[in-house]
Structure 1
């Protein structure tokens, strides 16, 4: 950035240090990193530095930079293009082909070329030696699908919807050292910005919480910095809007005059405040980084099975004996799937175990074959017709075929009831291992009516309940004798 004529402010350098920090194994300390900063402080410069580092220094094959609008993405593209041209040399008369210096594997000076793509909708950069790319796109429900990104840069996250987040999140699932970076000022209203509120809930120990949330715990893979000050946009009498200390706390670039003559000054902030007298909450949000109160802060969780009830069924040391059953469930959009097992618990009762929980569905049948050969389950129950049909015809090494049952609507209702009774009924006998994926699913599950009964449903589209559905199906199959084949030799799952 120095060489490109855009040196970083101290706080921006701190951001890059945090973003590029690594664990002992060399992987990023922050799989996700959030930087919430009021407007015009230069958070875009942090993203530019991260993108250039990945492109020139880190060997990242694909960097995806998205914004909520096409025009915003293009502003970022043009800024990065300016940095590229400052760092490289134009090749002949071709302004879209740049030459850069590097050292080869022997330490000898050589060059490489970068192509600038200005085609509408395809804007980006490509190294012609490594084929590494930076792509710029406007977010949509489908944008980003089909790409496998090493780094996802999500600018203006206040407008990031759950559907858009899902479209981008899973592009990095198969990358062993991927990273997602979010930058924004606070959400515009309390009923928008669901992804930002979720990140805040995970990253900020001072974020509003309800009793059912339990104590805050550090997410070991989330980096989180929010420069905004505490306050309530609905009651600003408790905040001194003219306090220069508040201005400085929320705006890390305040008072820094850059070499190109730009910079956020106290005079400019004062002008903003006077001009915003008719919308002080808007000014407090945009300049002081105060969050609006989330419209569903009090939304109930643990609606079906209470948190305290769930925790009474915890046994992290539980050992599963023979016989066992396996079950598979897939999310409606087929982006995630889970395999769970149920069996008797050594010491009494029954236990469920989420054996696998991964993106996509292509891995399921191979994993089922592996588990079937090793554990010889009584039966395998699958909620998805396509996977059940394919798995049912799969031959095992001994010449037999996978024993598969397709779960219908009635079975889904029966399995939900069986799980509920085993956890929260009058004589609970089911134990769980404290697996986060299953606990998250139970906390976010609701009911949907099926005939005279009910099956599991999601409280919101951000909740993945397939570990719960798979565990329920496995437990139901364990107690449904008509589904069983001969039991196998006893064993303990590890």
Structure 2
């Protein structure tokens, strides 16, 4: 994740102008030692194309190079609302590939023929109106379906429409996918095998917010970026940049400050880097009135509908295996351990318990509610009634902020597993389900969490992914930690000795 800031300015006595954020809200970039981005920016300027800071940033990270000169990012994705200037980045990248990069074939495709033709006409104008570039052109083909620019040195830029099935069999050094929110498996299946024979190829995706099942490829790229943010480690081959807001969810309280208000001008600035440059707030307000809130959120604020390959498919633990362990007669017996977890957005929190139930371990969601302001008092009530052997909270997770309050209120030290112990707890939970050594009450919050659960790498092991799963994962994390708490080392309080006992 990166900076979400936007800026304002204005002359004395004039209203301040709101400027769009020049850095994306979601970003992952593989490390690089140098970049051809500045060359692309300068060449674009020679052709009369002056770029905004955010466009320059996209080129800088997208054209990053490793020490051996190869691309640091095999795939580059720019996800931003319409009318912000994606076309300028595309044109600068294509000009660089043709005139400086020596790329033999650049393929530019769009979902619709008219979009592809419009892109061809824009870059043709840039090239033919610049003496330094025009004199290097051998021919420009304007025949329908054959639109291309070819240089005297043999480099070619071809324009295709994906909807017609064209492009199969071509092997491009660089492949530009415009309208990437309409890009599915067929197009990618036609492309990827051809790139195996190309030395140091690159794929660029340009699109706006996802529109459901048609946005499968963009959804996969976005999920990789979210996974990288969850791990805190960049994706090794993807540069992904997304300008969007983080909208409120249904469970948000009225005074929520953790999410962006779709009605606020600052939200428009956060999702539209061209605001104040080529896009005005007055225009976006007219759009808001015309579109309605849902469409405006998608088209102007970047709030997309992204399909998920593994959504609700019980991809980690099978549904049949989990349901088979349900038992309405099960219950936890002493000793018991409690655990607390909170979603990354702090929209929900869960308190869960684990205890022996015959030879198995009973796990249960004791409470699962919106927000976090209820957690400490509820924990105090449970602590008084159950006298558990321990309370477990992952100090590195969202619930870590509650630990001090919990310890003060409960009068005990909370057990704080290290990262390797969180991974061990997850592995032990998984193994217990596999061996049938867990029983549960088939509670909806826990089942829903398991249905949408995914893994995140944690060293050589894995733990539950909290971000990007689309469900409240806190019940699953909490029962996992509670089960681990049954055998975790707990520091027993020292027994107080009466002062006179030593002289008895």
| Length-normalised TM-score, structure 2 | 0.51
Aligned residues: 276
Aligned to 2:45: 2
Aligned to 2:202: 179
Aligned partner of 1:300 among 311, 314, 323: 314
- Structure-1 separation of matches of 2:233 and 2:219: 16
Q: Describe the SS at the equivalent of 2:275.
A: coil
Post-superposition shift, 1:127? Answer: 0.8
- Structure-1 separation of matches of 2:245 and 2:64: 26
Distance 1:244 1:205, change over 3 A: farther
- Structure-1 separation of matches of 2:318 and 2:187: 29
Q: Describe the SS at the equivalent of 2:190.
A: helix
Aligned to 1:62: 105
Aligned to 1:114: 138
Aligned to 1:223: 239
Post-superposition shift, 1:84? Answer: 1.0
Alpha carbons 1:232, 1:292 under 8 Å: kept: no
Aligned to 1:405: none
- Answer with 16-25 or 229-238: which moved more: 229-238
Alpha carbons 2:169, 2:190 under 8 Å: kept: no
Aligned partner of 2:70 among 9, 18, 27: 27
- Structure-2 separation of matches of 1:283 and 1:86: 37
Alpha carbons 1:42, 1:253 under 8 Å: kept: yes
- Structure-2 separation of matches of 1:117 and 1:219: 39
Alpha carbons 1:232, 1:290 under 8 Å: kept: no
Aligned to 1:266: 281
Q: Describe the SS at the equivalent of 1:2.
A: helix
Distance 1:272 1:169, change over 3 A: same
Aligned to 1:145: 168
Alpha carbons 2:184, 2:217 under 8 Å: kept: yes
Aligned partner of 2:291 among 276, 279, 283: 276
- Structure-1 separation of matches of 2:297 and 2:251: 11
Correspondence 1:419-458 to 2 at 5 A:
none
Aligned to 1:288: 301
- Structure-2 separation of matches of 1:299 and 1:124: 44
Does structure 1 residue 253 correspond to structure 2 residue 274?
yes
Aligned to 2:93: 50
Alpha carbons 2:112, 2:163 under 8 Å: kept: no
Correspondence 1:369-448 to 2 at 5 A:
none
Does structure 1 residue 242 correspond to structure 2 residue 263?
yes
Aligned to 2:445: none
Post-superposition shift, 1:113? Answer: 3.1
Distance 1:206 1:270, change over 3 A: farther
Aligned to 2:472: none
Alpha carbons 1:41, 1:251 under 8 Å: kept: yes
- Structure-1 separation of matches of 2:305 and 2:76: 21
Post-superposition shift, 1:169? Answer: 2.4
Alpha carbons 1:144, 1:171 under 8 Å: kept: no
Distance 1:141 1:425, change over 3 A: farther
Post-superposition shift, 1:240? Answer: 2.0
Correspondence 1:301-380 to 2 at 5 A:
301-302=315-316
Deviation per residue, 1:122-166 (Å, 9 max, x gap): 1011112x2110010011484322211110000110100111111
* Higher RCO, Cα 8 Å, sep 6+: 2
Alpha carbons 2:219, 2:306 under 8 Å: kept: no
Post-superposition shift, 1:5? Answer: 1.9
Which runs of 5 or more structure 1 residues have no equivalent in the other structure?
90-97, 101-111, 210-214, 257-262, 307-423, 427-435, 440-494
Distance 1:201 1:149, change over 3 A: same
Distance 1:99 1:84, change over 3 A: closer
- Structure-1 separation of matches of 2:251 and 2:185: 29
Aligned to 2:416: none
| Length-normalised TM-score, structure 1 | 0.52
Which runs of 5 or more structure 2 residues have no equivalent in the other structure?
1-43, 321-433, 437-456, 461-504
Post-superposition shift, 1:300? Answer: 3.0
Distance 1:5 1:99, change over 3 A: closer
- Structure-2 separation of matches of 1:87 and 1:64: 22
Distance 1:145 1:192, change over 3 A: closer
Distance 1:297 1:55, change over 3 A: same
- Structure-2 separation of matches of 1:84 and 1:282: 37
- Structure-1 separation of matches of 2:167 and 2:181: 18
Distance 1:115 1:188, change over 3 A: same
Aligned to 1:87: 130
Distance 1:99 1:39, change over 3 A: closer
- Structure-2 separation of matches of 1:269 and 1:223: 28
Distance 1:276 1:143, change over 3 A: same
Q: Describe the SS at the equivalent of 2:295.
A: helix
Post-superposition shift, 1:43? Answer: 0.6
Distance 1:224 1:99, change over 3 A: closer
